[in-house]
Amino acid sequence: MARLPTPLEHGLPLVCLDLETTGLATGPGTLAFLVGLGLWSGDRLVVRQLLLPDHVDEQQLLDALVAAIPPTCVLVTYNGRTFDWPLLVTRYRLHRRDPPEPRQHLDLLPISRQLWRPRLGNARLATIEQAICDVQRHDDLPGALIPERYFAYLRDRRPERLRPVIEHNRQDIVSLGRLLVALGRLVSRTDGWASIHPSDLAGLARAMARRGRAEEALDCVDAALASTAWLRGVEGGAPLRRRLAADRARLLGRIGRHEEQYAAWLEIAQGGGPGAAAAWLEVARQREHRLRDIGGALDACRAAGAALDRARVWGRAAPTIEGDLVYRMTRLRRKAARAGQPRRTSLAA
């Protein structure tokens, strides 16, 4: 867990948390009637579930929750930063009590969006747990039906109505635990990256880069480009390769490896296809500012213009790149004109 894009403190206990509620808002009218907790005991995940028999028993549920969430723990949720935890804090505030204060909060939804949504299409827990954790739910109660089940239980006090709700919540907690394990293996076992889907490694690289960890992000990109998954055929392989190559060039610049960055952009530009025009502009920037080669920068801009012309034929207009190209060529031509003029000397000299 210390190698996550947002590192966790070493040695803190991990507490998985998931709520079943009477609605989807976090205001005072929404009640958490079932709190699922997952705590590790050795290498086993122990699931505890706190069920609210009636509204008047909420104080006792909040007491149990304070005892179950120590202040030295890392709270692990899925969309918990925006829903589960704010809702619980609201319940404590309504009772004029201080909520538990875990040391850290790891919300797995944002990192799942970064790592797996580009490949899977969405980052819903049901999608992630099936694709990443190999969890297959059978006869699972849809989340939209859960509030009504609890209201029906309050009316007729038939506990069997809540059995599917409790099982749904238990599986959510187990899936959080499995997802933590899968995530830990992904970020820690760099020797096993060769078999991981390149899109997942690309997402991990972007997450690392956003947090200033460019060296580790570059390792992820290099591993993605060398992945054996390409041999099995990767859906959307060509666009993904182009994006990875561009990410690699940017990361090389961020860590100061400018010669390699220039070579990387030049290789992308000379390869043609989508992205060639943007790569030629990067080559022009390098030639102008780092190599002080105005003529070479103009040549790169002309190549970018030719690439844009080809893209227009295929209906792929790029107004932002076109605007950058016009501005850059105008400035470079002025520089070239000034460089070609003889220097003026004063009469005194």
pLDDT tens digits, residue range 133-157?
A: 999 998 899 999 999 999 999 999 9
Q: What stretches in the chain show pLDDT beneath 70?
A: 189, 231-233, 235-236, 341-349
The pairs formed by 281-289 with CB atoms below 8 angstroms and a separation of 24 or more are: 281/321, 281/324, 281/325, 281/328, 282/249, 284/328, 284/332, 285/328, 286/258, 286/261, 286/262, 288/328, 288/332
**Nearest residue to 268 (alpha-carbon basis) of 256, 255, 254, 252:** 252
Predicted local distance difference test score (pLDDT) of residue 152: 96
Q: Which pLDDT value is given to residue 349?
A: 35
The two tokens of residue 115 are 């790592």
Q: Which pTM does this prediction carry? A: 0.84
Picking from 296, 295, 289, the residue whose alpha carbon sits closest to that of residue 269 is 296
Query: Which pLDDT value is given to residue 156?
Result: 94
- Residue 236 has what pLDDT? 66
Domains and CATH numbers, the chain: 14-188 (3.30.420.10), 257-339 (no CATH)
End-to-end CA distance of the chain: 70
